[in-house]
């Protein structure tokens, strides 16, 4: 890291540098002569501070960052590597931006929980995880965490934490989808009554179960050995979920699950660390098998949705992985052993 008071006027080009080039290129940061970088701030190699930007003492900015015109970075801010902050953004004390974050023009980080309060308060910590993207004119309230790879669309007002990989929109912001999932459609297109249809995530499979149509009432059935991929030892039912809520957000180390939305509908996002898919559960004769070590999320519940989950074993809290970073580490370890 290089002290910002040694202002250098030679802009170092970043485009086209390979990762090896970046690691060996120790070019000093470029600080425009109309930028203000106060003593005590720390600026990484190859970072560019544009005209009329102001960096206050105590701020830490990593390598290969692009801090555009009129950006303010306050005391106590920590910014990772390869972060881009577009013009008109103020990054207040208490905000951390991890690696590869993009902040669009005029996005706002709120630094007060109670605007107008006179007595000093400790700033609420706001965390933007790596590879997240914030659109133009979006507002992020104090104390929010934006998950890895998440996307805040332009103009959204984020009032609560955003899950990893989620795309949020609106005021207040709500999840409209997940990154790298196809356009979700009904699973009613599964072709054969007992055919297992593969998804984009290896191991996750869709089953169409037998459906009996009767004027007295329809019936769907599944027999453990003939239709289901494991013998359940437990079931639970999820219902009365507010439409804006997200459930799941975990993986199991050894547990197998089978999900059927017996009434209404909800969307299921499955993720193995490499691939991601989104499935709309809206038929009582459509089931989805979830193998161990698959990260699952359910959202977009209709008010009448009833989700039935069959599990291969009794409840064991130690079988859960509830943090996405821990999950990615576990996936990497498992693949290294293979």
Give the residue numbers annotated as catalytic, written as ranges: 250
Closest alpha carbon to 250 in 304, 309, 170, 206: 309
Cβ–Cβ < 8 Å for 13, 30: no
CA–CA separation, 277 and 261 (whole Å): 17
State how far the Cα of 112 lies from the Cα of 115, in Å rounded to an integer: 6
User: Which parts of the chain fold into alpha helices (H)?
Assistant: 19-24, 324-337
Cα 200 from Cα 184, distance rounded (Å): 12
Q: Which of 179, 178, 198, 177 minimizes the C-alpha distance to 187?
A: 198
Which stretches of 63-156 are assigned E, i.e. beta strand?
66-67, 72-73, 78-79, 84-85, 90-91, 95-97, 102-103, 108-109, 126-128, 133-134, 139-140, 145-146, 151-152
Q: Which of 42, 41, 48 is nearest to 64 (CA)?
A: 48
For the record, the structure tokens of 101 come out as 């974050």
């Amino acid at each position: 890291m290089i002290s910002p008071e040694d202002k250098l006027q030679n802009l170092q080009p970043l485009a086209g540098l390979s990762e090896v080039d970046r690691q060996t290129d120790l070019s000093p940061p470029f600080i425009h002569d109309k930028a203000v970088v106060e003593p005590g701030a720390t600026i990484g190699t190859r970072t560019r501070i544009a005209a009329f930007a102001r960096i206050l003492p105590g701020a830490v900015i990593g390598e290969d960052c692009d801090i555009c015109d009129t950006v303010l970075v306050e005391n106590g801010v920590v910014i990772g590597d390869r972060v881009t902050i577009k013009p008109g953004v103020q990054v207040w004390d208490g905000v951390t931006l991890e690696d590869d974050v993009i902040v669009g023009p005029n996005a706002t980080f709120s630094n007060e929980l109670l605007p107008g309060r006179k007595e000093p308060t400790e700033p609420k910590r706001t965390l933007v995880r790596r590879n997240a993207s914030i659109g133009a004119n979006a507002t992020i309230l104090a104390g929010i965490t934006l998950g890895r790879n998440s996307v805040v669309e332009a103009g959204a007002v984020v009032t609560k934490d955003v899950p990893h990989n989620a795309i949020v929109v609106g005021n207040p912001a709500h999840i409209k989808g997940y990154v790298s999932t196809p356009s979700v459609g009904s699973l009613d297109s599964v072709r054969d009554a007992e055919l297992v249809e593969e998804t984009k995530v290896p191991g996750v499979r869709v089953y169409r179960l037998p459906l009996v149509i009767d004027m007295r009432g329809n019936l769907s059935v599944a027999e453990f050995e003939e239709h289901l991929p494991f013998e359940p030892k437990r079931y639970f039912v999820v219902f009365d979920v507010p439409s804006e809520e997200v459930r799941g957000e975990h993986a199991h180390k050894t547990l197998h699950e089978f999900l059927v939305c017996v009434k209404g509908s909800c969307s299921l996002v499955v993720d193995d660390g490499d691939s991601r898919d989104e499935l709309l559960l809206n038929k009582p004769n459509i089931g989805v098998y979830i193998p161990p070590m698959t990260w699952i999320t359910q959202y977009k519940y209709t008010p009448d949705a009833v989700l039935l989950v069959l599990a291969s074993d009794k409840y064991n809290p130690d079988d859960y992985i509830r943090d996405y970073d821990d999950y990615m580490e576990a996936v990497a370890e498992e693949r290294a052993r293979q």
